[in-house]
Amino acid sequence: MCLAHGLRRAGIAVQVYERDRTRADGLHGYRIGINAHGLGALKASLPPELFATFLATCARSPGHFNMLTERMSELLSVGIGDSEVSGGRSVSRMTLRQVLLTGLEDCVHFDKTFVKYEQHADGQVTAHFTDGTSATAELLVGADGARSKVRRQLLPHAKLENTGIVSIAAKVPMTQENRALLPPKVLDGITLISAPKGYGAIIHVMEFNGNGAGVKSGIGGNDEVLIAHLPGLLYDNTRDYLMWAVWGARRNLPADPMTLEAPARLALAMQMTDGWHPNLRALIRASDLSTTFAIDVRTSVPVDSWPSSNITVLGDAIHLMTPGKGVGANTALRDAQLLCSQLERIARRELPLVEAVADYEAQMRRYGFHAVAESRKQFDEHDAIHRPIVGRLALGVMRTAMRVVNNVPPLKRRMIDSENRLRGTEDPLPQ
């Protein structure tokens, strides 16, 4: 959708074929961090009034990035609000989806499941859908996610790998009772927890300060409240909430969360956190059962360059990555901005289509697969931390290292600079 907005602003005709049946379908998660790359892409692509709507529907920016033990002992804490590290913006995934769909009502076609494409001698390409319809254009962009059928036809050798890590997540309403369970730094930011057995967890606190309920789209004089498109508590992001997730190597878990229903998933999360601080376990018990879901963490296997054509891919369709660095969606937004800029060069007759696509793909592979590799370092069952005996030693070493970094300013600065580079404050790779 970001690409569609950018192309329309450039005067380039675009049509979007969406497999969801309506704009409110699908559970797409509860929080996404938008870093400098993502913000830049959204600002460049969206109409100014819609970018203002995006900013208004964001949650309060996190003030701290924390690393804790399962007993809530601090290992590392970095200020975000004081600009030590680039914090970006926090937004509900479903709210962002609604914002991006706004203004595209005339070019988004729902309930369209892609089957295959067909290239023609005249340089056109036709996409075929399960309902028997088709669409023909000069360029087909596969932005159809991890199970991309466009990628399968274009790059049948491009594979996904299981990391062996599985995760359980849910939302918790931020009542006064639930707020009281967490210390100020955790309430004020993003918190990672490292625990024995290679188990880990993350906590995101989403506070809207009343933003969401009163935001109006402002598009074309339409005063419809944007949040009205999000029915029910599952998609209600006008109220503050907390999102948590716990994970571990599948082989170390008492059960496979991918095979369980919601009550059993929460019960498994309680088993995984046995011995953790009682306040953390109380938060899990306070979860809205209807919001629980499980994730089988997978990742793309980088592929070498391929012959460019009038079919290309972006986002998870080509460089699916683990949540280890929190840059997956931002990398997709970066793809959209880059591809849009290349297509504008075609419109200005600076480049032929295939050459413009080739330039996009070369740059996208460079930064996209770098992000894939960096993200996998945090989520891989082969890491020592997931082994029975060596894992305890690895956990101890990691915790000691984090405490040292937390108390030695030059080391802390080096760590911050490394994270900022990956998160978009500067390019992490040489040209």
Domain spans of the chain, in order of start = 2-422
What pTM, to 2 d.p., does this model score?
0.87
Least confident of 70-84, 171-185, 214-228, 290-304: 214-228
418 contact partners, CB below 8 Å, separation of at least 6: none
> What tokens appear for 346 in the block?
């075609």
pLDDT score, position 422 = 59
Cβ neighbours around 326 below 10 Å, total:
22
Mean pLDDT of the chain: 88
1 contact partners, CB below 8 Å, separation of at least 6: 16, 97, 100, 101, 104, 108
248, containing H or E segment: strand 241-249
Could you tell me where the DSSP H helices lie in 315-389? 316-319, 328-347, 353-376
What is the Cα–Cα distance from 148 to 279, expressed in whole angstroms?
40
Q: Which residues of 202-235 are buried (b: 16+ CB within 10 A; e: fewer)?
A: bbbbbbbeebbeebebbbeeeeeebbebbeeeeb
Q: Is the pLDDT of residue 409 over 90?
A: no
| φ and ψ at residue 279, rounded to 5 degrees | -70, -35
Burial category of 324 from C-beta neighbours within 10 Å (exposed 0-12, middle 13-18, buried 19 and up): buried
> What tokens appear for 396 in the block?
């101890």
Q: Is the pLDDT of residue 427 over 60?
A: no
| φ and ψ at residue 335, rounded to 5 degrees | -55, -50
3-state secondary structure of 387: coil
pLDDT score, position 416 = 76
Closest CA to 114 of 94, 88, 132, 92: 132
What's the Cα-to-Cα distance from 135 to each of 122, 138, 145, 225, 239, rounded to whole Å? 15, 10, 20, 33, 40
> What tokens appear for 243 in the block?
């999102």
pLDDT score, position 205 = 92
3-state secondary structure of 95: helix
pLDDT tens-place string over residues 134-159: 999 999 999 999 999 999 999 999 99
pLDDT tens-place string over residues 93-129: 888 888 899 899 999 999 999 999 999 999 999 999 9
pLDDT score, position 423 = 58
The region that residue 137 occupies, defined by phi over 0 for left and psi between -120 and 50 for alpha, beta otherwise, is beta
Could you tell me where the DSSP H helices lie in 63-205? 93-101, 149-154, 176-179, 184-187
Closest CA to 382 of 191, 252, 202, 201: 252
Residue 170 carries which side chain, given as an amino acid letter? Answer: A
- Residue 231 binned pLDDT confidence (cut-offs 50, 70, 90): very low
Secondary structure (DSSP) of 17-73: E-SSSSTT-S---S-EEE-HHHHHHHHHHS-HHHHHHHHHHSBPPP-EEEEEETT--
pLDDT score, position 430 = 34
The CB-based long-range contact list for 125-132 (8 Å cut-off, 24+ gap) reads 125/310, 125/311, 127/17, 129/17
The topology (CATH level 3) of 2-422 is FAD/NAD(P)-binding domain (3.50.50)
- What radius of gyration, in Å, describes the C-alpha atoms of the chain? 22
As a residue count, the chain comes to 431
Residue where the block lists tokens 């503050």? 240
> What tokens appear for 285 in the block?
């018990």
Determine the average pLDDT of the residues in 384-390. Answer: 93
For 63-208, where are the E strands, in sequence order?
64-69, 74-79, 89-91, 108-109, 114-119, 125-129, 134-137, 140-142, 160-173, 189-194, 200-206
Q: Is the pLDDT of residue 421 over 90?
A: no
What is the Cα–Cα distance from 336 to 414, expressed in whole angstroms?
30
- The percent of residues in the chain predicted with pLDDT above 90, rounded, is 71
302 contact partners, CB below 8 Å, separation of at least 6: 319, 365, 369, 372, 373
Give me the sign of the Cα torsion angle 97, 102, 107, 110. positive
